[in-house]
Each structure stands twice: as structure tokens, then as C-alpha cells.
A and B are shown apart, each in its own frame.
Chain A
Amino acid sequence: MKIVVIGNGMVGYKFCEKLRAKLPFEEAELIVFGEEPRVAYDRVHLTDYFTHASPNELEMQPRSWYNEQHIILYTGDPVVQIDRENKVVHSYKGREESYDYLVLATGSSAFVPPLPGIEKEGVFVYRTIEDLELIKDYAPKATQAAVMGGGLLGLEAAKALLDLGVQNTHVIEYASRLMPRQIDHNGHLVLQSKLAALGLEIHTNKAAIEITGAQAITGIQFADESTMELDLLIISAGIKPRDELAKLAGLETGSRGGIIVNDHMQTTDPHIFAIGECALHKGMIYGLVAPGYEMAEVAASTIIDEPIQFNGFDMSTKLKLIGVDVASFGDPFPPSTEFRAIVFEDSLQGIYKRINVSNDGKYLLGGILIGDAADYNMLLQTTKNKIQLPLNPQDILIGPRGEGAQNAGVQNLPNDAIVCSCESVTKGDIVAAVKNGHETFNAVKKCTKAGSCCGGCTPMVKDIIQYTMIAEGKYIRNVVCEHFQYSRQELFDLIKIKNLHAYDEVLDTYGHGDGCEICKPVISSIIASLWNDMILQKGNETAQDSNDRFLANIQKGGTYSVVPRIPGGEITPQKLAVIAAVAEKYNLYTKITGGQRIDMFGAHVNDLPNIWQELIAAGFESGHAYGKALRTVKSCVGSTWCRFGLHDSVSFAIRVEERYRGLRAPHKMKSAVSGCIRECAEAQSKDFGIIATDKGWNLYVCGNGGSKPQHAKLLAADLDSDTCIRYIDRFLMFYIKTADPLTRTATWLNKLDGGIEYLRNVVVNDSLGVAAELEASMQHLVDHYKCEWREVVENPALRKRFSHFVNAPAEKDPTVNFEQMRDQKRAVEWK
């Protein structure tokens, strides 16, 4: 049998993969014509081209794959004619190939409205790698850019323009709202304000009538007589199925484009199939990749005589990349008589959720999520699998959150629920893979292909793996790395019981090999959290993360930063003068940090001990800015000056910072104390934060700034100062004992079974009976605190390690270079 495929896009490629899995090369010749110069690539992740330098990373498979699979691939050679009578295709470069079956996977092109001036320089479409190359080259010249079309793709393109550094980016939409096919008007309003915050200006109800400019675009003229100045325009106004070849061959096409196919993806010529974005099935063009993959499966099965049917496809989508969650699933707009909508809106946080529930309240029909689409997978599955809703359907919108809750959801899914719709992988497939020993996400992905396309199902796949392993009675071993078959928590207990104080002892007793950059810092941190010995002694120096080893953060160019502790952010003029003098003497860049202290940058490694010697002499100590340790305890000025202050927040912040200074933990920890609920110290964004009330202190825990901000949760209210400290002791030690490596308190709490209620029980109600032990462990650490920089300064053997050249200790690294900027120095840019 001989099969010819026209088009080497995502769906054409998928067809080859599926066909080869069913028919080995001995039984079927497979020939592919592609018009683009490259082998098929992942168009869904096209925008990544702007961040990944090489297009190779987007390839579905390298060219060698086609050879291995015995597929003849002609790229850069479009088919120009189909001779149906003789069953032969003719290519642009003059090739001729006969076929038994022909598969059209010609995709679509961007629809460009026929406006006067649309051909001007600076007007682009967004479809191929070449399009993006052109945009990337042009963008640096542009200061005003717009995307025409506020759909899924248009918004993605607009965000890309922002990321390319275009200052003013607009989105122009003809309809009265963004993403008109996916979201409703209220959703649009929330989305619009979120996009505005990102820097995108949105214009709806705007019909362009002309593109103005001489050679290059300078603006747009609209039907409402307004104009907009522009020097770059991306058209994203929809897609146009590429049916020109099919038309020429006399195959039936739709009046608005698309090659008409039946349920087996056959065109009006049963030897010719059409799949992907060029196919018109029951009046519908599917502009998404998952239905295209399903069509590839249907066509391949029909060709091997095991016909299956294409029954339409769900158009649920989740917007990626844009920095705002937007998803629509199932039917976002069912006929008004058939459903009741439940809406949840939080305009403060920019969250809008709407679910459409069947009239009897039993089933979910579809919905819209904006601002928070964490539940997308679960809701989609609930819709698709007709899972019965709880008595109060609103519970699924505002019910319990967090990992535990998600897991429970996975349990209720039927085995045939499609979890990865791109690759049609069911829950049953994943469970079976796990039972066959594929126990990590990567192993499951390799074996089932789940999560290998758009990646949207990744969290759910991980949940299913975990749930299956637990159901199998398997203890989930979260081992540290190849050198230790133990979790961090197990190692913590073992090191404590065996009273080990050095990394090498731990490796000898419980590990094998030479260790690595993962287990060394983990174990060093455990040792420090248990005993609070000086970290550079007992042979532990080289087991420290490299910043800890030099007691400073390494910066661009190889110099270091110096951050003395300034407890609570309070500092005397005299001490400020010392910092100024030291910075001047050693030529350091100075900056006030976001943590209420002063950072001095650009210190040569040889200068570090001398700098610290001077700082220590003036009463400073290490600020541990380099360690996974307590960083700063910020304070607001509090009742000593502020007219609203309820208590003295500065004094309490200093007390807290001095108690926990130098405390090492699985990740860094931050804290703050505010004098009243106006919260000027931002305590609710900290690992532990304290806010004065008229009766005492409220203690909040597990907040986080960083890339995934999370508000801290109230652990206990109206505490007196000593109780507050006792609770913090317990909380911190419990975290230190049980958290995974590099897990901040917020992430730790999200994974903790039972969440904040459980934590409150342990810390406040002592439900595990460990409170006294936790407090004692903390007291031990507090009693053994020493400033580690003082120890280096006073110890010649330790000082000696702070040199750049072992054979020329007095010389500085000659490759270090600085530039001038605003009267200070800066590191030169790296290449």
C-alpha cells in the first residue's frame, strides 16, 4: 500500500506517527510533502520561539525520525496538483508520486481581511516560524503596536509584543468583547482589567476600514472615524482553511472554506482524506490541535480497515502564556432555557468564574474561568464525564482548595475519563502505566504520551500517579537524589538519632558515591538546623552551597555582596556612617534592599574578611542573605511614633529577628511585624507575620511573595508576646523537621494534609504532643547562635579560604570588570 500525505504540520505529523504504529514500513510506503522548509514543529508553542533561541527545540521529531520510520519527507516542496483519475500528485519541484490513499493535512492560513493598505510594510500575521522571525526583526523599530483580533491567538501575540519590548501595545477587537466565542461580557470586563494591568490597551467595537501610511504602516482608520497611530500590526482575525488544492481537484468544499469530510474523515473521493484545520466536519472547522489529532487517529484507523468515527470534539481551552488564567470548558453558552448559571466574582482579586449547571442541578454543562483556572482540569472532567454534582453545586466553585482537594477529585473520575485530550489518554491508561512501574511523571509521559503536547493536563497526571501509588499501598519515597535513598525528613531523623555532625559522616553512614550539588546543601542544612555548629568547620565547608561556602551571594562577574543584619530595619546614624565608610573604602555599590536593609555589591572574594572585620568592629553581624535561613524581620514604625500604632512593632520585630537570626531551614524565611491592621510592614506576605491588635498580636503563617504570591493565614489571634514567640518556635521547628528541600512555608502548607487546621492543631493545641520538644530544639539553636562572619574574621585558617588564586593569594581576579552608572559602579553585562 502507498500513502501520500500533503502537509507536514502538527496533524500531518501525528498522522504519520499513528499510521506507523499501526502499519510497519514493510506494509505501507509513506510519503510526505511539506510546503514549509522545516520538519513539522509545535505550532501551539510557537510563541516560545521568542524565548528559546533555536527552532530545533520546537520540532515534533528531528528529521532523523522520519528516516528511522522509513518515511520519505520532502520539505519545501508543496503539492500543486492532484490527478484523481490516475491517483498521482505533482509537486512544485516536479516530483510525481502515485498513491492508494491520499491524506490532506494542509492546515490553514491566517485570515487577512481585504482592507486597503493591508499589504504595507510592518503588517504581519502570526502562524509560522518565519512570521515570528520577521516580527522579531521589526519589533525593535516599533514603539506603537497593535494586534487586530482579541481572540485566543491575538492575546498571545499581544503579550509576545510586550515581552519583545514594544512600549505601547493595543488589542483591537471588532466584537463588543474579547474572546467572544469563549467568554461572556462580565468575564470580558475582568479579563480586560487584568490585561490593562499587564500593559495592554484594549479597544472593542472597533472596525478597521483602512491601513494608512506610505511604504510602511503609520496607522489605522476606523469606521467610527477615529484613528490610531501605529508602526507595527499583527493580524489575528481568524483562520482560513487551505482548501485550494482540494478545490482544484474537484473535491467538495464548504461555502466559507474547508474540505468537506464524513465521520471517517473521507472527502467526496473515498481515497482522499482530509484532517486537521483544513477539514470541514458537519459545518465545523476545528482550530485546535486535539481534535486534529483525533482526526488523524480516525483516518489512520479507516485506512487499515478498522474504521472508527469522529464525533465532534469539545472546544474547551485554556489560555497559556499571557500571565492571566483564562479558560472556557464544555459549552460556555448553552441555550438559555437549558441551564442555570452560578457565578462567583471577586473584583478585588480579578477573579470571575461561571458554571452552567443543567436545570435539574445534576450536571455541569460548561463554564468560564478568569483569573484563577486552577480547577480547569477538574471541571472539564466533571463536564465531559457527566459526573454528578454535589447537592450544592456552588461547592465546586468555592469548596475546599489545595492539593488534597484535587486529589480527592481524581478519585471520582471514571477510568475512561480522557485526561490528556491532545493524545487521548484516559485515567485508566495512566493508572495502568503506574501499576506497570512507571512511577514518575516523566516515565508516564514517555509511556502514555500524556502531557507531551500542550501540557495542560500535567498537574492532573501527577495527581493520578500519586493517587494510584497511594491506592497500591506504595509508600511514596521522595528520595533526595541518586546518592541517598531517603527523603529529607527521614534523613533529618537519622542524622539526629545518630548524632552526626559532618556531611561525610552522613554519606558514609547512609549514602553512596561522592554526593552532588543536590544532597550536599540539603544535608548541610539539616546539620545546621539540628546543631547550629559553625557551617565551615568539621569538614563541612565544601558541602555547603557555594554561596554558603563564601558566606556571601555570588554576583554577575564573580564578585560578592555584603549584607549586614539590621534587625527590624532600625539603624543609628553612626552605623550608617560605618556602612558608608566601608563601601567607599572597598569601592562597593550600595542599595537599600526590599527587606529594609543595605546591600553592598561588587566585593572581591579576597576583600570579604577585611570588610567584615571592619563591620563587626562597629557592632554589625552577618545578615545571612546568602543562606537558606532567616532573612529579615521587617517592621513598621509602630506605636512609638505612629498615631495609629497599637503596640511597639519595632521592638517586637527586633526581638523576633534576634531570636531567630542564623536559623537555617529548608528554604529562606522572612518575617514582619506591623503595629496595626494598616499593615505597613506587609506581614501577611511573610513566612510568619505578626500584626498588633488592641488585645495583643495576631500571628499569620505561610505567606509568600516571589513568583507565586500567597497570603499568610491566621494561625492564632490576640496573643501576648511570649505566647506568640512560643508558637513561632513550634511552627518553625515543625516546618524545619518536615518540609521537603527548597520548599517555602507556603508551598509546604499547601501540601500538608489537613492544611492550616491541622497545623493549628499541632502548634496551638499540641495534638501531636511534640510542642515541648519543638520548643526545646529551638531553644538549643538560639543558645548556640554565633555570628559566622565573626568566626571567620577571627580564624586565620578559615580566612585563608577567601582568596581567588591558591598560588597567588594576594591577587584579585583580573577578569572582574565594572562599568560606571549613576555615580556608582555596576557589573559588566555577561554574554
Chain B
Amino acid sequence: MSSEFSWFLACRVQDVPANGGVCVKYANTQIALFHFTRTGQWFATQNLCPHKHQMALSRGMIGSHAGEPKVACPFHKKTFSLKDGRCISDETECHIQTYPVRIEGDDIFIGFTAQPAFIQTSTH
């Protein structure tokens, strides 16, 4: 695996509900981790919704828009691409941070480029 990332052991496969998300505590930030069971894909993003700064994305419904994986915030249903973090439903909304995910056996790792203290959870 690429050495530019430091990999953080987040949880195990069975801890994450099928086709859903969980919130991972990483130092003093929060990461949303999603599992698309149907296609075997994993995604990680910031847990903070940039719209009203709510720690909520991990509780959102996931799905696809024209084939692109996305999550809908539970608060006002703004949807974000899990590929590039772009807000799909509202061009003027901020992007969210995305992170790479690696699976080893049952273990799920999330990759970070910076030390925890430098991770930005807010885009505003």
C-alpha cells in the first residue's frame, strides 16, 4: 500500500451495517465510514456536514446518483459524492473531505496523510 498514508485501524467489517455507515473516532476528529455491501465498496469522509455543521453524515442514507456513490445528510438531505466529496444536490455547498479505505481480512483501515491534529473537519 502507498506509503504516503498512515493507516488507522477503524473497526471490523461486521461492525458496519450492510449498505450503511458508522462514525469512527480518530483522535479528536470524526470520520464517516460507509460500506456498499452490494458492490463491496468502502468509502470514508468527514462526518461533519458542511451545511449546518452537524456531525451526521455517518447516519445518512447511502445510494447512487447516475452510478456515482453518494450519501444524504439526515438533516436536510443534501447529498455528497463519496468519490470526490462534491455536494451533488447543491453546487454552492462546500465539498467534504474524503479518505482512502483499505481492507485486510476483517480489519478496516482509513488512510490519512497528516497527523491527527492537523486534520480539518470543518470546511468553512
Interface of A with B (CB < 8 Å)? 482-483, 504, 507, 513-517, 519-521, 539, 541-543, 545-547, 549-550, 554, 556-558, 801, 804-808, 811, 813-815, 830-831
In-complex Cβ contact of A554 among B16, B38, B75 (8 A): B75
Closest 9 CB pairs of A and B: A542-B20, A516-B63, A546-B74, A517-B72, A806-B22, A514-B64, A805-B25, A517-B61, A830-B52
Q: Give me 27 A-to-B residue pairs in the complex whose CB atoms sit less than 8 angstroms apart, sorted by A's number.
A: A483-B64, A504-B38, A514-B19, A514-B39, A516-B64, A516-B70, A517-B77, A517-B79, A521-B61, A541-B20, A542-B17, A542-B18, A542-B19, A542-B62, A546-B59, A546-B61, A549-B59, A804-B23, A805-B24, A806-B10, A806-B22, A806-B23, A807-B25, A811-B25, A813-B30, A814-B28, A831-B124
A513 to B20, CA, bound (A): 15
| Residue of A507, A806, A811 with highest tally of chain B CB at under 10 A | A806
State whether B10 touches A558 (Cβ < 8 A). no
State whether B74 touches A806 (Cβ < 8 A). no
Using Cβ atoms and an 8 Å threshold, which residues of chain A touch B20? 541-542, 549
State whether A554 touches B56 (Cβ < 8 A). yes
Using Cβ atoms and an 8 Å threshold, which residues of chain A touch B67? 513
Interface of B with A (CB < 8 Å)? 10-11, 15-25, 28, 30, 33, 36, 38-39, 52-56, 59-67, 69-70, 72, 74-75, 77, 79, 124
Q: How far is the CB of A546 from chain B (nearest CB, A)?
A: 4
A546 to B54, CA, bound (A): 14
Assuming the A-B contacts A542-B18, A806-B11, are A558 and B56 also in contact, with contact meaning beta carbons closer than 8 angstroms in the complex? Answer: yes
Closest to B63 in A: A516
State whether A514 touches B24 (Cβ < 8 A). no
Tell me if A's interface is mostly helix, strand, loop or mixed. Answer: loop
A520 to B70, CA, bound (A): 13
Closest to B66 in A: A482
Using Cβ atoms and an 8 Å threshold, which residues of chain A touch B61? 516-517, 520-521, 542-543, 545-546
Other A-B pairs, 20, CB within 8 Å; known A504-B38, A801-B17, A806-B16:
A483-B63, A504-B19, A507-B38, A514-B69, A515-B19, A517-B61, A519-B63, A520-B61, A539-B18, A545-B61, A546-B61, A549-B20, A554-B75, A805-B25, A807-B10, A807-B11, A808-B25, A813-B55, A815-B30, A830-B53
Closest to A808 in B: B25
Using Cβ atoms and an 8 Å threshold, which residues of chain B touch A807? 10-11, 15, 24-25
Using Cβ atoms and an 8 Å threshold, which residues of chain B touch A545? 61
A68 to B24, CA, bound (A): 48
Assuming the A-B contacts A542-B62, A546-B59, are A806 and B15 also in contact, with contact meaning beta carbons closer than 8 angstroms in the complex? Answer: yes
Closest to B73 in A: A546
State whether A806 touches B65 (Cβ < 8 A). no
A808 to B79, CA, bound (A): 27
In-complex Cβ contact of A514 among B21, B56, B62, B74 (8 A): B62
State whether A514 touches B36 (Cβ < 8 A). yes
A550 to B58, CA, bound (A): 12
In-complex Cβ contact of A541 among B17, B70, B79 (8 A): B17
Using Cβ atoms and an 8 Å threshold, which residues of chain B touch A804? 23
State whether A558 touches B55 (Cβ < 8 A). yes
A483 to B61, CA, bound (A): 15
Q: How far is the CB of A480 from chain B (nearest CB, A)?
A: 12
State whether A547 touches B74 (Cβ < 8 A). yes
Q: How far is the CB of A481 from chain B (nearest CB, A)?
A: 9
Q: How far is the CB of B12 from chain A (nearest CB, A)?
A: 9
Closest to A507 in B: B38
Using Cβ atoms and an 8 Å threshold, which residues of chain A touch B36? 514
Using Cβ atoms and an 8 Å threshold, which residues of chain A touch B56? 554, 558
A521 to B54, CA, bound (A): 22
Using Cβ atoms and an 8 Å threshold, which residues of chain B touch A482? 65-66
Using Cβ atoms and an 8 Å threshold, which residues of chain B touch A504? 19, 38
Using Cβ atoms and an 8 Å threshold, which residues of chain A touch B24? 805-807
State whether B63 touches A515 (Cβ < 8 A). yes
Q: How far is the CB of B117 from chain A (nearest CB, A)?
A: 16
Using Cβ atoms and an 8 Å threshold, which residues of chain B touch A514? 19, 36, 38-39, 62-64, 69
A830 to B33, CA, bound (A): 24
State whether B64 touches A513 (Cβ < 8 A). yes
Using Cβ atoms and an 8 Å threshold, which residues of chain B touch A550? 59
A542 to B15, CA, bound (A): 14
Closest to A520 in B: B61
Using Cβ atoms and an 8 Å threshold, which residues of chain A touch B55? 558, 813, 815
A520 to B72, CA, bound (A): 12
A482 to B67, CA, bound (A): 10
A51 to B87, CA, bound (A): 22
A541 to B20, CA, bound (A): 9
A541 to B35, CA, bound (A): 13
Closest to A550 in B: B59
In-complex Cβ contact of A806 among B28, B33, B53, B63 (8 A): B33
A296 to B22, CA, bound (A): 58
A546 to B67, CA, bound (A): 22
Using Cβ atoms and an 8 Å threshold, which residues of chain B touch A830? 52-54
Q: How far is the CB of A526 from chain B (nearest CB, A)?
A: 16
| Residue of B33, B36, B55 with highest tally of chain A CB at under 10 A | B55
Q: How far is the CB of B20 from chain A (nearest CB, A)?
A: 3
Q: How far is the CB of A5 from chain B (nearest CB, A)?
A: 31
State whether B11 touches A554 (Cβ < 8 A). no
A550 to B20, CA, bound (A): 13
